[in-house]
Amino acid sequence: MPLMRTYRARPVSTWSALALASLAAVAGCERRAAPPSGGAPAGPAKQAPAASAPAAAAPAEVEFLEEITGGADRSEALPLIVAIHGLGDRPESFAGLLSGADVKARLVVPRGLAPYGDGYSWFPLQQALASDAVGQGILRAAAALAATIERISAERPTRGKAIVTGFSQGGALTFALALHHPRVVSAAFPVSGWVPPAVLSGASAADPAAPALVALHGDADRRVPFGPTRDAIAALAGRGVRARLESYPGVGHTVTGDMRRDLLQLIRGAAAEMR
């Protein structure tokens, strides 16, 4: 059974907490309901009702779902896979994207920092995706996640640095973690994510220790347009960052079976390098 937990330094109980600063309300993107374990990915995402976003979020906590995959033993030193859900989603559903993976690993699915509809959000989205406010929100959430990943890695038997992936908002955070927190990330696979100028401009030049970054994105995505992500990958590659883009013709803002297959293959390869 997967366990929903939050981080704290002393032995972990069912619920514990790493308190973070409060975040403002969120609005205007969508959730992607993840497939059940081993099932086919969900279809196009649904718009979450803007009216459900609160005026201001209470102080949030980084909570996470933890699951052992591939028949591994919880006491083993395992690769750490961190999967970050999108706006309006929740760990219990998003875990289905990877919970059936045939990779021996520790899967951690953190929960967004503020309630949104019947799910959660990581940062406010009341402005354009490329706005400075959105970029700063991404950087704040990425810093909180990096600290949590670092502490989980120290508390549990872990092999190597984390393999990070995420969809939509989670994809944006995956980019930010790879570019701004390479100390905790070995490989990054953002799906339908984006890189605001605030995230791109602050990224350091290529570092031999920086993680490999492979983005997966549908070229018919209207929620998070393909073009800016393509341009960001080109800019990163021009700086010497190991970044490339896998495009999916005719695919919108969703995760298709082909995308899930390719994502799992990338994760298998990254986990194998840790042995």
**Could you tell me the two tokens for 150?**
């670092």
56 vs 49: CA distance, rounded Å:
16
Contacts of 69 (CB under 8 A, 6+ apart): 81, 98, 99, 100, 101, 102, 103, 104, 105, 106, 107
Report the alpha-carbon distance of residue 199 to residue 176 in Å, rounded. 6
Residues across the chain: 275
Rg of the Cα trace of the chain?
17
Instruction: Calculate mean pLDDT across residues 177-188.
Output: 95
Token look-up 């695919």 returns 251
183 pLDDT more than 50:
yes
pTM: 0.79
Q: Which CATH number fits domain 53-272: 3.30.950.10, 3.30.420.40, 3.30.450.40, 3.40.50.1820?
A: 3.40.50.1820
d(CA 196, CA 138): 9
- For residues 54 and 209, the model is more confident at 209
Residue of 274 and 208 predicted with greater confidence: 274
The whole-number average pLDDT for the span 157-174 is 97
Please write the tens of the pLDDT for every residue from 123-160: 998 889 999 999 999 999 999 999 999 999 999 999 99
User: Residue 170: CB partners within 8 Å, gap ≥ 6?
Assistant: 83, 84, 85, 86, 94, 122, 190, 191, 193
Least confidently predicted of 28-42, 143-157, 213-227: 28-42
Question: What DSSP letter does each residue of 155-202 carry, written as one string?
Answer: HS-B-SSEEEEEETHHHHHHHHHHHH-GGGEEEEEEES----HHHHHT
Which pLDDT score is estimated for 210? 79
Pair 159, 183: CB distance under 8 Å: no
- Per DSSP bridges, beta strands 63-69 and 3-6 are antiparallel
